[in-house]
Structure 1
């Protein structure tokens, strides 16, 4: 269940980054926002995804960040691990 929740968050993050690509990548508010590290027991309240970092072209787990607003309009930055895009099946 928790893995499916993480997969859903990541999928929404990727889709959200496409939808909001026209917004500024960094603002003064982002520099003041603390970065939270994702854990499986976190209860996420994601109303709007602002940005999602690019995934490095490496093979293995790499850090990624998502900036989002919660249902109260507060901005958060979430750091989590994803699989890099550099692995090949050959």
Structure 2
């Protein structure tokens, strides 16, 4: 029983570092996000990455990493309704 507790504690201690590595692999993780404001002109040629909010509920932040018409990479953040289960 004590061995199981030690193993569980060890695995739990590794979780934050594994999560941090996943964030670093997200495209555009080193680019600061610009908060979108109504009426702001955005030159999007190609979307490279978008936050997946398919399982979130309510108003949630979205980050979009995109390439503009000049080939430069940008990140923009805005709010949207999550698409998760609405009968919660």
Runs of 4+ in 1 over 3 A off after TM superposition: none
Structure 1 gaps of 5+ residues are 1-24
1:44-83 matched pairs, under 5 angstroms: 44-55=42-53, 57-83=55-81
Structure 2 gaps of 5+ residues are 1-24
Contact 1:60 1:87 in 2 (8 A): no
Q: Which residue of 2 aligns with 1:26?
A: 26
* Number of residue equivalences: 64
- CA distance in structure 1 between the partners assigned to 2:63 and 2:29 by the alignment: 13
- CA distance in structure 1 between the partners assigned to 2:51 and 2:63 by the alignment: 5
After TM superposition, the score normalised by the length of structure 2 is 0.61
How big is the alpha-carbon RMSD for the aligned residues of Structure 1 and Structure 2? Answer: 2.2
- CA distance in structure 2 between the partners assigned to 1:34 and 1:61 by the alignment: 21
- CA distance in structure 1 between the partners assigned to 2:31 and 2:86 by the alignment: 36
Structure showing greater Rg: 2
